[in-house]
Each structure stands twice: as structure tokens, then as C-alpha cells.
Structure 1
Amino acid sequence: MEETQMEEECKEEINGTQIEEKESDEIQMEERDSNSQTEVAPALIAVHPFDQSVAVAVGSELRIFNLAKNCSVSIESTEMLHKDAIRAVRFSDKGKLLVSAGDDKLVKIWSTETWQCLCTVNSEKRVSAVAISKDEQYVCFADKFGVVWIVDLVGLAENQPGSNKKAAELFGHYCSIITSLEFSPNGSFIVSADRDFKIRVSVFPRSPLKGVHEIQSFCLGHSEFVSCLTFVHNSDFPQGFLVSGSGDSTVCLWDVTSGLALCTSEVGKEANLSEEAHPAVIDLCATGDGSLVAVAIQRQVSKVPWLQGILLLSCDLSAGKLSTLKVIPVPGETFIPTRLGMALSKNLLWMVTGASNLPGSKATSFARIRILSGFNESDTETRVLEDQEIPGGEKLLEKLQGSVSVQGADFSAAADTLNAAMSSLLRKKQYSNEKREFRKKTRNDKKYNQ
């Protein structure tokens, strides 16, 4: 009798402990959800391939300037706007579409002629990357659970603007956050990168709504998360080569057909950032002829205050080689680009820095635009344009940067905060053997099934 009573008391104590732990876990989940609503997000930029317009995303705001008409674009209907931070924005290669997506689990497809929202696609999870097929018939997007989805745009022009479409599942990366999506220049492959150091090259089928079932190759070699992808190509190499940037401070050149790494450039060391712990590559942008690749590198402002700007790599496609050309400093305020963009018709590199939901700053959301010129053969030097030299001038800056007054301290705080946010999201945490075993034993599925 005494043993039975003791067993019942032990069970009650265990059940009580499990309930308390479950309530604690639920509270922590609620706190994480609450914190995610104010998660800092980098400013993004996208440039029309034929230099017709520029789009900047800051938080939930989508700011567009029409370069062809030298005027700002107003989105009249507030119902068409995003409700949370935009995490991806890009133009199609033909320039007829703009796609934006983000933390509100919405993918919006815009006409660049009327600037109406042609359709809105609901995502099950927050969106981390988007890509548009070369023929503009499909939009692909990836979520933070590692699933890539596809939307059929055939007949979209006849639909009433603002309509909804459903996405079909394309393939998955098995619960790894997908950081970047790219179509190959000839449209044969769709390439996806994730936080688990993988780059997957998939054959894009004729009927993609049925899913992608053929993997061409895996490009493996990075030792940290892959942050960004771009292709370099020209008339001699129409299929092109893949360029990837990573949290391991390297940029790699790949043959996607075989998955072989042709060249690896240690850009962290080349930019004299070797003393920093893992300065990640933030973004890549290639010129239209594939001869140059611009690299934006993450770094702590307090450690390297003198290094601001980007690193230029020379790309020899015939030799399959990347080589460091030079570091281009940006004079004036602390400027560490959060995204890069370039049109095909003009060799101007657009750079944006900024953030939304920046804690501890009066300027909680802001953006700053700078442009780098000098990529044509006739140019004698590469330089950063003054504000009055920028296409669109003050009207463009007023629209894309907003009216918020930004101090140098805000730029520094944004850079450091974004660095911390990227590391928290994409860098895998390292645990000791003891802590790893403890975490295994205290997993929820272990606790509640005992």
C-alpha cells in the first residue's frame, strides 16, 4: 500500500512538473512570436534590368521610383501593401514584373507598367527568397522551413488585378532555411542555397507544377551558411557559371552541371578582415558581361571603422577564375551595404544600407542609397557618385530614402544589429557534449511521451 501511494505521489509530481515545463515552453514560444514581430530587417534594393525603375524595401514599405519618367510611384490601395517586413524583392529578367515577399507570409506580384498588384499568393510560412523564371511564366519562393513553392502566371494578365493564386510545392531542403533562389541564364536549372552549407542544382522541368524530381548536382564546399547566389555569363558562355557567397568569408565559382568548384576567393582576407570572426558575405552582384562581381561583406564597424564599401572581383570565365581587383571605399558616413543591384543596360552599381525595427534609435526604419560608377571600358576609374549625380537626383533620394534624418551612429548601430540578427538566424549554435545530451533528454517529444 505504501509503495502504491508513493508511486501515485511520484506520478503526480512528475505530471505537475511536466505541466509547468509545458506552460513554460508555451510562454517562451509566445515570447519568440512576439519578438519576431519586431525583428530587425535589412533594407533591400532591386533595379529594373533596363534601368526603367528602382525599388527599395524598408520594413513593410515598398518604395518605387520611375527612372524613365523621373517621378515617384505611388501605390494607391493600402490593402495591396505588405503588413510586415519585406525579405525579398526582385524584377523579372524581361522587366515586366516585380515580386515582393516577406514576414507577412504574402508574395505579391506587381506589373511594372501599371504598378498594380496583379495577384497575391499566401504562403504557409514566412518567405525568405524569390525567383522568377526567364519566360516570366512562373514565380518561385522559399520559406523558412526549407520548402520551395511555385506559382503559375500563365493568363495572369487577363485576371483582375488583386486576385489570389495558390502555390504548388516544388521541392524541399528538409527543414533548412533557404537563403537564395536563382534560375540559370538559360532557364534549365533552378538553384537553391540554405543555411546548412548546401547548394542544390535542380533541373527545371517542362511541367513544374508537378514538382521538381531531378537533381543535377550539389555544389558542396562552403563551411558556413550560403548567403547569396548569382550567375556570371556572356555570349561565349550562355549557360554561365554560378557564384556563391557564404558566412565562411569566401566567394566560390561553380560549374553547376558537374557541381565542381572552379575557384574559391577568400574575400575576408582580401579585404583585410581576417582578424574578425567569420565576416560573412552579405550580397553579390555581377555585371552584364560577367567580367566583374561586386561583393558586400559583413563586419563590425567598431573593429574596422576605416573599411566601408565593397570588394570588386575580376571574373575570367574562360579560365574559370576569380581574382581580387580592388576595394572601393564609400566616403562620408559609415556605409556597409545590405543589398546590391545593377541594371543590364547601364553599368551602375546601386547600393543600399539601412534597417527597419532598429532598437534604441530614433530612426527606427531608414535607408541610404549610394551608386558606384566606372564599369565601362571607357571609364578611367571606379568611383562613388555624389548625391547630385545620381539618376533622379533629390526626387529619387527623397522617395527611396524617406524623410527620416539619419546620423552616423544610426548607420553603425544598424550594421552591428543586422550582423547579430544574421548570425542568430543562420549560424548554427555550437554546444558541448554535455549540453547536447541534456538538450536531447529535455526535448518536448521526449518529455511528454514518457
Structure 2
Amino acid sequence: MLPVVVIAGRPNVGKSTLFNRLAGRRFALVADTPGVTRDRKDATAELRGRTVRLVDTAGLEESAPDSLYGRMRASSEAAVAGADLVVFVVDARTGITPADEHFAAWLRRQGRPVLLVANKAEGRGGAQAAMEGFSLGLGQPLAVSAEHGEGLADLMGEIADRLPARQEDEDGLNRPLRLAVVGRPNAGKSTLLNRMLGEERMITGPEPGLTRDSVAVRFSDEEGPIELVDTAGLRKKARIEVGLEKMSTSSTIEALKMAEVVVLCIDAVDGIHEQDLQIARLIEREGRGCVIALNKWDAVADRNEARKGVSDRLETSLAQMKGIPVVTLSAMTGAGVDKLLPAVRRIHTIWNTRVPTGELNRWFEAALERHAAPLVDGRRLKLRYTTQAKARPPTFIIFGTRAEQTPEDYRRYLVNGLRDSFNLPGTPIRLQFRGTKNPYADE
């Protein structure tokens, strides 16, 4: 297992900026608003030759346990409990506050190695201001500026020196399946992720829009490792406000693009909305495998009617992903959740499918016999042969004279034939057409 480095501190001291700097790219949302980070966020980083798991946490602050900020603090405390090293961040500009003193005392009682970092310590004056951190009793503070990149080389060296002895990295033996959970706000995405992990990993509650950033978590099932990403809810474009919510939406779409399979979480009580279908079309457009999770199934009054309504809507509005698997479940009670990962694994296998060229061309000849290539401008197209260019998703190329002029309805006929003949339900199929060049055309 990789050593775990947890970045902790009160709100708005620059933890997420420091996290992004150490990770080498923008994983966490950053804004001037305090409390942007609500859930723990993981990333793998290379620090002075040591591969570590970095964890960004919500700001530590005093709040009632059942409040949103109380739940955020509990999540951060759970991260600290599993850390090999805690990087405790304070703000050198503001100086040491009573909150810093309170949480520094709490950290000393946890028995975890702590590295004190004074952030926002730009220039000569910043290094002097960082010395105030000595009063916390956590050793010598290290002055850095995450925003300007100052002191980061020293910080990486300190982290590498304080980590436990190097162990064999088991994670490198098996590349994880990348799985994203997307959907409209308040569909139960974070509750579903917690249920799959068996722990309260994500902040949940009745308030819509609790998850603001895409949060990746690693775990394993019987078939191997999975990197599961919980995302912020996607609303209609017209309702997205500028600033933080726009950044959250961009982060969700980026997570969707990086995934291999996407679970579209839908509130079964509300049924499928147009916005759900728009998200499904986005998944198809990005070429990702998709599984629909009908959440809150325990609260549905007429299940037969609900199931029929979903099937009819998918058949009429999502024909380009015919056969998409639908799993009914309740993230709150756990009923049906055990069926979700097997469905994800099946779709992942289909998404990786490669069809032998011989079988493919035998199918192609039979398809042309059943329905001959159409006439275009009074002349029949001559489609000659096909080959699979790649998997992930399955992509096929058809060659022939004027093949690029093939009408849309005949393209759909061929795609449906591929899906039915080679058992490719619920995954996007890419079909490209390439015409052959006439060598006498220029004469």
C-alpha cells in the first residue's frame, strides 16, 4: 500500500492549492470562498522518488456533530486517523489563530507524525512571519507559498524524509477500473458511494449540492482494484451560476471524460428527467460505458409502472445506447447495491470487446445481403469490407466506394446489427466510413 499524506488545517489556509501543487495538476477546486472543499480528495503523487497517496481534507472547525460543518470535520478527522504523515497548514499572513492552537493540540494527541507548514509566506517577510508557528509545539514550521510555488522543493524533501520505510507498491500491479458516479443534484450519489465502500467516506445530508468537487476513492472487489469518483450534481446549463458552481460542473465533466464506465444515478421517485437523458447523451458522446442506477427504489409506490416508464423512456430517447443495464437499488438501505458492481464489470468487458476480423466480415456480408447498400445520387454505394480499429469503445471502419456518403438510417442499421450480433448492449459503438480514391479522378 502507498504511504498516506493528509493535508489538514482550518478553512482557507490554502490546503487545496498546496494539494494541487504537490499532485502536479488541478485535482481540487480552489476559490477565495472558505469551505469549498467538503469531502476528502485523493491523488497519487511522486515526491522525491516516493510515490504517495495525497489526501486533501475539509477545513477543521468547531461545529455541532450533526451540522454540515460538523460532518465535514468528522470526515477530516477520519482521514487523519489513517495518515502516515499529517501536513498541518497554517496561514503565515493571518498569523496563528485560536483555531490553529486548538487543532494543533488535538493533533498532538492523535499520535501521528506531523509536519507544520506555514503557507502564504511569500518573500523575505513571509519566512519571518512563519516563525510564529513555533508556538504550536509541532516543531519548526516550513515556510512555503503554494500559490507562487515557493518552498515546494523543500516541502517535498521533508515529506519524503518523514515517510515510513519503502514498501512494495501493490497498487502498481493492477491498473484500476476507473468508475465515475454522475447525476442530477440530490439523486443520492454520495450515499451510494458510501454504501459501496462500507464507510461514511462522503459528506451526505438532505441539502442538495453538498458535493462540490469530484472526489476519487480507491477500493477493490473480487476482480481487482476500482477507482471510484463521486461528482457534483449536473444541473441544466441555464441554472448553473457563475463562479464555484461552474467550476464544480467543469470538474464533473472532466471526471466523466477520465472514466471508463459511468454510473448514472437517477432518483427513482422522480423518474427520468430530460436532464438525466442529456447526461446520458454526454456519456455516449464521450464514448464511455454506462450503467443506470435507479436509486431510492424503496420509496417507489408502483414499481412495475416505474420500471415500465423507465424502459419506455430509454427505448425512445436513448436508442444510441440500446440495451443499457438498469439496476434498481436503495443506497440508504443497501438493497440491490450488490448488483451494481457486477453490472459495471460486465459493461467494462463489453466496452473492451474486440471482434475477430473474420467473424466481422462474415457478419458484414450477411448484413449487405439482408439490406443492400442504398442508392445515393442514383448510384448504389459499394461497401467492400470492415475492420475493428480499436476497443474502448468498440470502433469499426467500413471501406468502399463513396462509403463516406452512407445515409444516417443505413448507418443506424449497421450499428444495431453489430450490437445484436456481437452482444454489445449498453455501450457506445463508433462506426466510421472511408471511401476509396479513384486514381483516374484527376484526369
TM-score, normalised relative to structure 2: 0.23
Greater fraction helix: 2
Q: Which has the larger radius of gyration?
A: 2
TM-score, normalised relative to structure 1: 0.23
Greater fraction strand: 1
